[in-house]
Amino acid sequence: MTKTVLRIDSSVRKDESVTRDLTNRIVARLNADEVITRDLIETPPLVDEAWATANFTPADKRTDAQKEILALSDTIVDELRAADTIVIGLPIYNFMIPASVKAWVDQFIRAGVTFRYTEAGPEGLLPNKRAILAVASGGTGVGSEIDHATTYMKFILGFVGITDVSIVAADQLAIDAEGSVKNAYEAVEQIAA
């Protein structure tokens, strides 16, 4: 049984969003004890020079201002650490993830925090977690050569140690919306709680 789910929504649509509908269904199916929700309709701030300086300053030497700059990033990292399963609503916009998802990713990809460099290469520090991508697209086929969204997210999640990644896809909605959504709903029913 899943204890804690982190639910990430990123569709710019509050109503009639296929990915929000899928994340609702997946989270309900998981029957978690706790659900942490982060809605990226409120896009995290883009990283900038002040953020980078704070991030690369050793934690015990950070000023109060630097700690404040990293506060949201620290919260996002804590949410990922707390979760057994991460459910990410991922619409494909122009063959890629939404800008808000990239801003979210940039807040948690932190050397020494979510990954570290070793002699064997990078090692993710968030192992033993599961991720489910709830994907929707108008014309992009998931796994096709023009799908730069799911391949990117699988790489990013794997980079921080989350290698158990599955996809529930309602893709190519512009071609066969009814069939695509039906297939996605059936995939949700196969998800083990």
Could you list the residues known to form a binding site, using ranges: 11
SS (H, E, C) the chain: CCCEEEEEECCCCCCCCHHHHHHHHHHHHHCCCEEEEEECCCCCCCCCHHHHHHHCCCHHHCCHHHHHHCHHHHHHHHHHHHCCEEEEEEECECCECCHHHHHHHHHHCCECCCEEEECCEEEECCCCCEEEEEEECCCCCCCCCCCCHHHHHHHHHHHCCCCEEEEEEECCHHHHHHHHHHHHHHHHHCCCC
120 φ, ψ (degrees, to nearest 5): -90, 0
In one-letter notation, the amino acid at residue 9 is: D
Q: Which residues are annotated as a binding site for FMN?
A: 11
